[in-house]
Amino acid sequence: MNKQLWDKAVAFHGHECPGLAIGVKACEAAMEKMQIGFSPDEEIVCVTENDACGVDAVQAILGCTLGKGNLLYRGTGKQAFSFFERKTGKKLRIYLKQQMDPGMGRAEWQEYLLNAPVDEIFSFSEPKFDLPEKAKIFPTVTCAICGEGAPEHKMRLQDGKTVCADCFKDYSRGW
Ligand SMILES: [Zn+2]
Ligand SMILES: [Zn+2]
């Protein structure tokens, strides 16, 4: 395994854990198979199918972050990450096929993950979804109720007024 990548991911994540090891190995696999590296801008897009520890490795190592809009969450809950390279159109879905042996401890599982060849722990396929659109910048609109601004596409119409998601009285639950 690449100790430098691991250290970088641990520094970002805050602790060592098997989940982070999965993310580091997924990055290693993407770098090796797609010939990609850290993304200072939006060159590389990651679609993560879980919001667990491993995503932090993707942010630290490949520079796919929520803030830059090149980290997208598609919540199937699977240990799977898809990577897209905009320039070349290359894409790869990486899925964790190995499960932790019931007799294995967490530390042992982490060691195994970090040292196993990527082909042994992951399966590789073409993502079934397309390259997401580039992050867009929407004009800011002011809410008629609270006066706070939010991007246009997040606003709702209520009694003929443009209101934000906080002020909108929805019949459905959640956000
Ligand atoms: Zn963790
Ligand atoms: Zn409001």
Q: Is the per-residue pLDDT at 174 higher than 70?
A: no
Q: Is the per-residue pLDDT at 136 higher than 70?
A: yes
Cα(162) to centroid of ligand 1, in Å? Answer: 41
- What pLDDT is recorded for position 129? 82
Ligand in closest contact with the CA of 144: 2
pLDDT tens, 24-77? Answer: 999 999 999 999 999 998 899 999 999 999 999 999 999 999 999 899 999 889
Neighbours of ion ligand 2 (CB under 5 A): 143, 145-146, 164, 166-167
Q: Kindly indicate the confidence band of residue 171, based on its pLDDT and cuts at 50, 70 and 90.
A: low
Q: How far is CA 98 from CA 43, 44, 77, 111, in A?
A: 29, 26, 16, 14
Ligand in closest contact with the CA of 106: 1
Ligand in closest contact with the CA of 168: 2
- What pLDDT is recorded for position 155? 93
pLDDT tens, 64-122? Answer: 999 998 999 998 899 999 999 999 999 999 999 999 988 999 999 999 999 999 999 99
Give me the mean pLDDT over the 132-151 stretch. 86
- What pLDDT is recorded for position 91? 95
Ligand in closest contact with the CA of 53: 1
Ligand in closest contact with the CA of 155: 2
Return the SS3 of 11: helix
The region of weakest confidence among 4-18, 45-59, 114-128, 159-173 is: 159-173
Cα(13) to centroid of ligand 1, in Å? Answer: 7
